[in-house]
């Protein structure tokens, strides 16, 4: 299994373990789902072996180890439930049949109701277990986690991925064009799976390709007239994708074969570095104006005028 880890977090937790300074509960936040969940499983592996090749490590990575409990939102629910926390407490109150520390991973603790989080808080503060136990809580919006829980955890902030890292991660699930465009909009793989079916994303994808095919001012005016009533979300996606396309024209030397990369190659051949840099600045200014609620059609119009 290929793990997507945050090297800084990995090193931080390894040093704590080597110095016998591990805390019993950590709260992971700030990263994408796969990275934080992979780091949680890797943490559990390191409590036993850490080689990632032995049967023990494989069992942990595949959520099959008897001492590692992985809790996530149930298929028919929208949040972590109080019943799941109560079941965790009941299970850990019984002595394990397997030697070694026990670990619970709660993926999406920020979705849990206040009742569920209060039950978890009691579990943390008043443990009924006899084994050595470590907890990893994963939050995607740390503001939704009770302050009392945060105060009892070691807070571990993950760094956002760069565009290149996000794009490479998404390439495992999407084609090159979608992985490029989705990485321009989100670093969360679950969000990207939702976006790829979203009408706003599909609109932006079409618009970007149409825009890159414009050859003269007449075509550009027709493009504007057709799309002048774009929603703010459509225009946001459109600009974000275009910004990364122009960034790629200035930074990438070896290009892959895909519709988007063919367009990038076309831009690199058609325009000087100075022109590409100027266009990137125009796009960045347009993005900034959108944030300050400038009318969408005015932003699109100015973009057309400055480009063509």
Q: Which H, E and C letters describe the chain, residue by residue? A: CCCCCCHHHHHHHHHHHHCCCCCCEEEEECCCHHHHHHHHHHHHHHHHCCCCCCHHHHHHHCCCCCCEEEECCCCCCCCCCHHHHHHHHHHHHCCCCCCCCEEEEEECHHHCCHHHHHHHHHHHHCCCCCCCEEEEEEECCHHHCCHHHHCCCEEEECCCCCHHHHHHHHCCCCCHHHHHHHHCCCCCHHHHHHHCCCHHHHHHHHHHHHHHCCCCHHHHHHHHHHHCCCCHHHHHHHHHHHHHHHHHHHHCCCCCCCHHHHHHHHHHHHCCHHHHHHHHHHHHHHHHHHHCCCCHHHHHHHHHHHHC
Burial of residue 170 (number of CB atoms within 10 Å: 0-12, 13-18, 19+): buried
Mean pLDDT, range 277-292, rounded to an integer: 91
Does the 7-157 domain belong in CATH 3.40.50.300?
yes
What whole-number distance in Å separates Cα of residue 286 and Cα of residue 114? 41
For residue 26, is pLDDT > 70? yes
More confident residue, 32 or 112: 112
Reply yes or no on whether the pLDDT at 80 is more than 80: yes
Q: What is the pLDDT at residue 47?
A: 96
Percent of the chain with pLDDT over 70: 99
Q: Quick one: pLDDT at residue 223? A: 97
Q: Using the Cα atoms of residue 216, residue 218, residue 220 and residue 226 in order, give the sign of their dihedral.
A: negative
The confidence score (pLDDT) of residue 82 equals: 96
Q: With bands split at pLDDT 50, 70 and 90, how would you rate the model's confidence at 275?
A: very high
Is the Cα torsion angle 293, 299, 300, 303 positive or negative in sign?
negative
- pLDDT for position 56: 96
pLDDT on residue 292:
80
Average pLDDT over residues 282-295: 89
In DSSP terms, which residues pair with 26 in a beta bridge? 136, 154
Predicted local confidence at residue 79, as pLDDT? 93
- Which is higher by pLDDT, 31 or 271? 271
Q: Is the pLDDT of residue 72 over 80?
A: yes
Q: What is the dihedral of CA 29, 31, 34, 37, to 10 degrees?
A: -20
* CATH 3.40.50.300-classified regions of the chain: 7-157
| pLDDT tier for residue 114 given thresholds of 50, 70 and 90 | very high
Residue 227 Cα to chain centre, angstroms: 30
- Residue 168: pLDDT over 90: no
> Does the structure show a pLDDT above 90 at 51?
yes
Give the chain's length: 308
- In 3D space, the residue among 224, 182, 175, 219 whose CA is nearest the CA of residue 200 turns out to be 182
Q: Is the pLDDT of residue 131 over 90?
A: no
Q: How confident is the model at residue 135, as a pLDDT?
A: 98
Question: In the prediction, which pLDDT does 172 show?
Answer: 86
Average pLDDT along the chain: 92
pLDDT classification of 254: cutoffs 50, 70, 90: low
Among 48-52, 120-124, 248-252, the least confident range: 248-252
Q: Is the pLDDT of residue 1 over 70?
A: no
Residue pair 240/280 in contact by the 8 Å Cβ criterion: no
Model confidence at 159, pLDDT cuts 50, 70, 90, reads confident
Predicted confidence at residue 122, as pLDDT, reads 95
pLDDT tens by residue, 201-248: 999 999 999 999 999 999 999 999 999 999 999 999 999 999 999 999
Tell me the pLDDT tens digit for each residue of 194-208.
Answer: 899 999 999 999 999
Do residues 2 and 34 touch, judged by C-beta distance below 8 A? no
């Amino acid at each position: 299994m290929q793990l997507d880890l945050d090297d800084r977090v990995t090193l931080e937790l390894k040093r704590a373990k080597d110095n016998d300074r591990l805390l019993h509960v950590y709260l992971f936040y700030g990263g994408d789902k796969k990275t934080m969940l992979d780091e949680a499983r890797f943490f559990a592996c390191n409590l036993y072996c850490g080689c990632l090749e032995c049967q023990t490590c494989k069992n942990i990575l595949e959520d099959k180890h008897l001492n590692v409990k992985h809790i996530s939102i149930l298929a028919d629910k929208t949040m972590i439930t109080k019943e799941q926390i109560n079941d965790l407490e009941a299970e850990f109150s019984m002595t394990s049949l397997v030697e070694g520390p026990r670990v619970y991973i709660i993926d999406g603790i920020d979705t849990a109701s206040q009742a569920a989080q209060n039950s978890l808080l009691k579990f943390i503060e008043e443990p009924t277990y006899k084994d050595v136990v470590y907890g990893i809580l994963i939050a995607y919006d740390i503001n939704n986690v009770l302050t009392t829980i945060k105060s009892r955890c070691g807070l571990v902030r993950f760094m956002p991925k760069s565009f290149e890292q996000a794009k490479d991660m998404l390439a495992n699930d999407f084609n090159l064009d979608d992985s490029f465009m989705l990485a321009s909009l989100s670093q969360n793989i679950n969000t990207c799976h939702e976006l790829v079916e979203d009408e706003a994303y599909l609109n932006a994808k079409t618009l970007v390709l149409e825009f890159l095919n414009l050859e003269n001012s007449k075509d550009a005016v027709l493009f504007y007239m057709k799309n002048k009533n774009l929603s703010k979300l459509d225009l946001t996606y459109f600009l974000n994708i275009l910004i990364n396309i122009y960034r790629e024209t200035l930074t990438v030397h070896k290009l892959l074969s895909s519709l988007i990369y063919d367009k990038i190659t076309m831009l690199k051949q058609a325009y000087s570095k100075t022109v590409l840099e100027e266009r990137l600045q125009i796009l960045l200014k347009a993005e900034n104006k959108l944030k300050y609620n400038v009318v969408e059609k005015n932003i699109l119009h100015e973009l057309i005028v400055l480009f063509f």
